[in-house]
Amino acid sequence: MADDFRHRARKRFGQNFLVDRQVIAAIISAIHPQPKDNLVEIGPGLGALTTPLLQILNHLTVIEIDRDIVAQLQRDYPQSKLTVHSIDALKFDFSALGGDQRIVGNLPYNISTPLLFHLSRFSTYIRDMYFMLQKEVVERMVAEPSTSSYGRLSVMLQYRFAMEQIFTVPPESFRPAPKVESAIVAMRPLDENSPAAGDEVLFSQVVSAAFSQRRKTLRNTLSAYLTREDFNCLDIDANLRAENLTVQHYVSIADYCLSRSHK
């Protein structure tokens, strides 16, 4: 982005701009973009990733809510190379960009979780995603069952994506520096043969109920869904807690409840 453009980070947009060139190079290397990729960048900010991506890509699509940055992007890059959507990513219809999308971005911490859930709705249009997020959030995303970080976010995202934490990024790599460490996560949609719940709304409700009170046993948190006999039929110990169940366990519970409602 033009050197004479000076932009003050805005707290309401959760802006922390990546300025570390070594980190930027490492992210580009991890993404490994190819000229014809259908690549989408969320929150291009001051162009830390945008500029090196455009040196490789035939065309890049970006989504940016800050109108000052939008205006500068449109001045810096021709429309033939860069399409800018001036909109909140939480409200954007990613299906409009076609299939085989590769989505990247330094996601604002204040909307990262709802944005990840929003993007999950479009998983069939996505090839992969690479995001910079608060390290704690990434740890929750990739957490395994029976660990303290494993929770609703883990289950709901692992239901749709295979995820990997690639590397961490220190606060001093940003301007202004956040108070926490960040991490890069790679997300790839699971193939169509992966286990899918018969009713995904019910699946989500069961997961939410199970984790609503983490310290309580499943006998208590899922009492609205399962009786003692139901737990026995599912071969699940009712004395376990939500964090002890795998994604497949939650799919099985939701499908069991669905089949029972159809009887």
Q: What is the pLDDT of residues 98-135, one digit of tens each?
A: 999 999 998 877 889 999 999 999 999 999 999 999 99
pLDDT of residue 12: 43
pLDDT of residue 149: 97
Domains identified in the chain and CATH numbers: 11-189 (3.40.50.150), 200-261 (1.10.8.100)
Across all residues in the chain, what is the average pLDDT?
Answer: 92
* C-alpha–C-alpha distance, residues 212 and 221, integer Å: 7
Residue 3 has pLDDT above 50, yes or no: no
* C-alpha–C-alpha distance, residues 130 and 207, integer Å: 25
Question: What one-character DSSP code corresponds to residue 191?
Answer: P
Task: Indicate the range of 8-12, 83-87, 128-132, 177-181 predicted with least confidence.
Answer: 8-12
Stretch 178-195: mean pLDDT = 91
Q: Where does the pLDDT of residue 175 fall: very low under 50, low under 70, confident under 90, or very high at 90 and above? A: confident
User: Three-class SS of residue 65?
Assistant: coil
> Helix %, strand %, coil % for the chain, to 5?
40, 20, 40
* C-alpha–C-alpha distance, residues 3 and 131, integer Å: 25
Q: Which residues, 6+ apart, have CB-to-CB distance to 3 below 8 Å?
A: none
Q: Where does the pLDDT of residue 263 fall: very low under 50, low under 70, confident under 90, or very high at 90 and above? A: low
Stretch 35-55: mean pLDDT = 95
| Residue labelled with tokens 């890059």 | 77
| Residue labelled with tokens 């992966």 | 194
Q: What is the pLDDT of residues 18-34, one digit of tens each?
A: 889 999 999 999 999 99
Token pair, residue 89, equals 């990513």
Q: What percent of the chain has pLDDT above 90?
A: 82
User: Three-class SS of residue 101?
Assistant: strand
CA angle 22, 116, 34 (to 5 degrees): 45
